[in-house]
């Protein structure tokens, strides 16, 4: 601890240890005016008044871990393109398997990996759990039940070492895919999943591409939910359950279903379906995006794979009448109609793919200080009596 005049000062490293944060967070505090740095003659680096640091520390006790921005090395959305750890998803779809892309997101290393394992006893357990659901249950409902059951059965689920989490995540995805109702295909993850979603001749390359494209997409609401759970050191199954819970909202995971239903009407009469939608005053499902400005690269990749399918004529007819651009929800809906997928397939596909991303974000969050998320609540209730 340094001293200037009558006041004690701390270095950046000392402040970071006192507040249990990274040095980068200290710089963020300075930029927001929460701390003031000074320079001492003859010393390198910034110094901070110990009293100011203690006042900030005391506020952190009452209101710990407020995080306004989350640093991540996983996904970059830039110039209407999507990258995983700096690699274009377009290139990954062309050259990598789903398992290899998952390994890239989980470990930072892009290498050939084997298929996700699916031990028979785990598959049977998941199928038994799914069988409890009513006949009306969607595939995502069955996935949530299976994840909770598999977590309860894993006695080592609280082992949060990176290699243990990676192993558990690969097994979880493999088991969930094989446990879904229907026959299990042979080969890639898309080939294994195909018979669960469609009775038509398999086109696994399209499903593999969709799984890669949907694996992660920055800090979507379900991903934030997963990271909050991970910050409390929830195990992988609980992290995935948190993500699945947020995904169930009609503003998030249900977007593919809304696009599917709209496109179903458009297959009969594109202009009538578009006219009815515009008249409703609601946005046209499957168009536009909050982040992308002129195109959704995920949609472009899938549309290229679907270029010879008749459904694309209807998609192009609608797209040509709107000022906005089609997004991945419409692309998934087009794929579903092209290959006769069951109506709830889009949400299940989204959920299975996003487990890969949630796992990657959990691994990042496990390396951060625990319990760092807490929103600032402003009390608006009746006055205290």
Give residue 6's pLDDT band: very low, low, confident or very high (50, 70, 90): very low
What pLDDT was estimated at residue 45?
Answer: 78
For the stretch 68-115, pLDDT in tens is 678 999 999 999 999 999 999 999 999 999 999 999 999 999 999 999
User: Into how many domains does the chain fold?
Assistant: 2
Asked whether residue 316 falls in the same domain as residue 249, the answer is yes
What pLDDT was estimated at residue 374?
Answer: 80
Token digits of residue 236: 């992988």
Asked whether residue 77 falls in the same domain as residue 58, the answer is no
CB 113, CB 100: distance < 8 Å = yes
In the chain, the largest separation of any two C-alpha atoms, in whole Å, equals 81
CB 262, CB 277: distance < 8 Å = yes
- 23: domain CATH number is 1.10.1660.10
Integer CA distances (angstroms), 364 to 79, 166, 173, 186, in order: 25, 12, 19, 32
- 327: domain CATH number is 1.10.580.10
7-11 and 2-4: which strand pairing? Answer: antiparallel
Give residue 289's pLDDT band: very low, low, confident or very high (50, 70, 90): very high
For residue 172, give the nearest of 117, 105, 215 by alpha carbon: 117
Establish if 381 belongs to a structural domain: no
Asked whether residue 26 falls in the same domain as residue 94, the answer is no
What pLDDT was estimated at residue 257?
Answer: 95
Establish if 383 belongs to a structural domain: no
What pLDDT was estimated at residue 222?
Answer: 97
- Which uninterrupted H or E stretch holds 60? helix 50-62
What pLDDT was estimated at residue 62?
Answer: 45
Asked whether residue 211 falls in the same domain as residue 135, the answer is yes
Residue ranges making up the domain that contains 34:
2-62
Last residue of a domain, one of 27, 62, 97: 62
Last residue of a domain, one of 43, 62, 81: 62
For the stretch 116-125, pLDDT in tens is 999 999 999 9
Token digits of residue 53: 């640091």
Give residue 63's pLDDT band: very low, low, confident or very high (50, 70, 90): very low
Asked whether residue 116 falls in the same domain as residue 52, the answer is no
CB 311, CB 304: distance < 8 Å = no
Measured CA to CA, the distance from residue 363 to residue 380 in angstroms comes to: 37
For the stretch 214-248, pLDDT in tens is 999 999 999 999 999 999 999 999 999 999 999 99
Section 189-201 average pLDDT: 98
Token digits of residue 355: 């487990």
Establish if 384 belongs to a structural domain: no
Share of the chain above pLDDT 90, in %: 75
Token digits of residue 243: 């993500």
Share of the chain above pLDDT 70, in %: 95
Asked whether residue 236 falls in the same domain as residue 289, the answer is yes
């Amino acid at each position: 601890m340094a001293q200037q005049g009558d006041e004690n000062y701390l270095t950046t490293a000392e402040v970071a240890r006192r507040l249990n944060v990274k040095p980068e967070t200290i710089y963020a505090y300075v930029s927001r005016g929460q701390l003031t740095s000074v320079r001492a003659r003859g010393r390198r680096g910034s110094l901070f008044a110990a009293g100011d640091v203690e006042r900030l520390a005391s506020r952190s006790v009452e209101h710990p871990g407020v995080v306004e921005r989350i640093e991540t090395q996983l996904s970059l959305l830039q110039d209407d393109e999507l990258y995983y750890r700096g690699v274009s998803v377009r290139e990954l779809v062309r050259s990598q398997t789903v398992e290899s892309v998952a390994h890239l997101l989980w470990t930072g290393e892009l290498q050939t990996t084997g298929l996700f394992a699916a031990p028979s006893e785990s598959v049977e357990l998941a199928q038994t759990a799914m069988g409890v659901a009513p006949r009306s249950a969607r595939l995502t409902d069955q996935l949530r039940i299976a994840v909770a059951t598999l977590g309860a059965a894993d006695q080592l689920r609280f082992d949060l070492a990176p290699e243990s989490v990676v192993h558990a995540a690969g097994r979880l995805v493999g088991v969930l895919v094989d446990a879904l109702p229907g026959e299990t295909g042979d080969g890639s993850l898309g080939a294994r999943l195909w018979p669960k979603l469609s009775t038509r001749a398999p086109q696994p390359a399209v499903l593999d591409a969709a799984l890669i494209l949907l694996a992660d997409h920055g800090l979507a609401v379900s991903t934030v939910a997963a990271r909050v759970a991970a910050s409390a050191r929830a195990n992988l199954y609980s992290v995935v359950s948190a993500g699945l819970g947020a995904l169930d909202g009609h503003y998030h995971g249900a977007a593919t279903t809304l696009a599917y239903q709209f496109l179903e009407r458009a297959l009969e009469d594109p202009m009538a379906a578009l006219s009815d939608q515009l008249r409703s005053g609601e946005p046209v499902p499957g168009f536009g995006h909050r982040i992308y400005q002129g195109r959704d690269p995920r949609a472009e990749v899938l549309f290229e794979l679907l270029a010879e399918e008749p459904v694309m004529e209807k998609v192009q007819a609608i797209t040509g009448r709107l000022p906005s651009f089609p997004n991945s929800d419409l692309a998934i809906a087009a794929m579903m109609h092209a290959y006769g997928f069951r109506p709830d397939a889009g949400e299940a596909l989204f959920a299975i793919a996003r487990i890969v991303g949630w796992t990657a974000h959990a691994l990042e969050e496990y390396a951060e200080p625990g319990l760092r998320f807490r929103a600032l609540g402003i009390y608006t209730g009746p006055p205290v009596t």
